[in-house]
Amino acid sequence: MPFVRYGFLVVALLAWLVHFGLAQQLKLATPADPAQDVLAVVNGSKITRMDFDQLIQQYRPEAGSWAEHNKGQVMRDLVTLEVLAQEGTKLRLDQDPRIQAQIRLRTKDIVARSVVEKYVNERSGVTDDTIRQHYEASKDEYAVAEQVTASHILVRTEQESQEVLAELKQGKDFAEVAKARSIDGSAAKGGALGTFSRGRTVAEFEEAAFALQVGEISPPVRTQFGYHVIKVTERTPAHVKPLDEVRDEVRNALIAQFVETLLQDLRGAAKVQVLRPEYGFE
């Protein structure tokens, strides 16, 4: 299900939830209280196993296994952050209003994501049953139109198109003829146009392509671009994607719906005063 219907924040939060879930799966084994497991001390400031794990979670999900074998490099990053932060404090950069604003925003962002994660886990009600029910009720959203995979040879004149057909009837390879004679950009790929559904090409070309069977070559087809000789290499009938193929997509859609409702409810319950009209929102 496309997510353009949801707000930017919902999409961002959903992407984070997916990332966080993967990061949790790859998270390194930790002691009972990682906040008390001190790994290093920098000018008197402690770096704990919790700090280590949190940094890993900011990497790509697949970095968890890499970090297990490269603890020193992760620690170097943590030490670098610590010495830079200490230097910034010496320079009183932490008192700069712009930096304080960034810190406030970052803190709110972390807490907000944690709220969403907690509510998704505890209140969203997304289960295998609700996923199946949503899929059954929304099958149209997972429908795939009829498609063909085709190649073509485009030439300028009808006479050239007849010459192309003659070469193909003599047994010449379609892709080689396309490379030698076709006048559009697909020539370099042997005329391959990829897979497309109806409504993606000009009407004359579409009608001819969708009338062909796999392996069949069309007579010359005239369009505004010239004369086409078309070959269909694959056909995919219209179908609905099975649940197993779209299960994650359905789950994410349900979570996105839940998050959108959650945000609307929280905003609705808050006392909000926007003081300048140009910043107003519904």
Query: Would you state the pLDDT for residue 11?
Result: 61
Q: What is the pLDDT of residues 170-196, one digit of tens each?
A: 999 999 999 999 999 999 999 999 999
In the structure, what pLDDT confidence band is assigned to residue 21 with cuts at 50, 70 and 90?
A: low
pLDDT at 25 over 50: no
Q: What is the pLDDT of residues 67-100, one digit of tens each?
A: 778 889 889 999 999 999 999 999 999 999 999 9
In the structure, what pLDDT confidence band is assigned to residue 209 with cuts at 50, 70 and 90?
A: very high
Query: Can you read off the two tokens belonging to residue 20?
Result: 């966080």
Q: What is the pLDDT of residues 220-263, one digit of tens each?
A: 999 999 999 999 999 999 999 999 999 999 999 999 999 999 99
User: In this structure, are residues 192 and 124 in contact, taking their beta carbons and an 8 Å threshold?
Assistant: no
3-state secondary structure of 105: helix
Phi/psi for 165 (5° steps) reads -60, -40
Q: In this structure, which long-range contacts are made by residues 56-63, counting pairs with CB atoms below 8 Å and at least 24 apart in sequence?
A: 56/23, 56/26, 56/27, 56/28, 57/20, 57/23, 57/24, 57/27, 61/19, 61/22, 61/23, 61/25, 61/26, 62/26, 63/26
Single out the residue of 151, 154, 157, 156 nearest to residue 173, CA to CA: 151
Query: Would you state the pLDDT for residue 19?
Result: 55
- What number of other Cβ atoms are within 10 A of residue 39's Cβ? 16
Q: In this structure, which long-range contacts are made by residues 136-142, counting pairs with CB atoms below 8 Å and at least 24 apart in sequence?
A: 138/1, 138/250, 139/240, 141/1, 142/240, 142/241, 142/246, 142/249
pTM comes to 0.66
Query: Would you state the pLDDT for residue 277?
Result: 93
Query: Would you state the pLDDT for residue 31?
Result: 47
Q: With both helix axes pointing from N to C terminus, report the angle between 49-57 and 71-90 in degrees, rounded to the nearest 10.
A: 100
Mean pLDDT of 20-28: 46
Mean pLDDT of 144-160: 97
> What is 57-94 written as a DSSP string?
HTS-TTHHHHHHT-HHHHHHHHHHHHHHHHHHHHTTGG
Query: Would you state the pLDDT for residue 144?
Result: 94
Query: Would you state the pLDDT for residue 35?
Result: 82
The two most distant CA atoms of the chain are separated, in Å, by 85
Q: No. of H helices and E strands in the chain?
A: 10, 8
Mean pLDDT of 26-41: 70
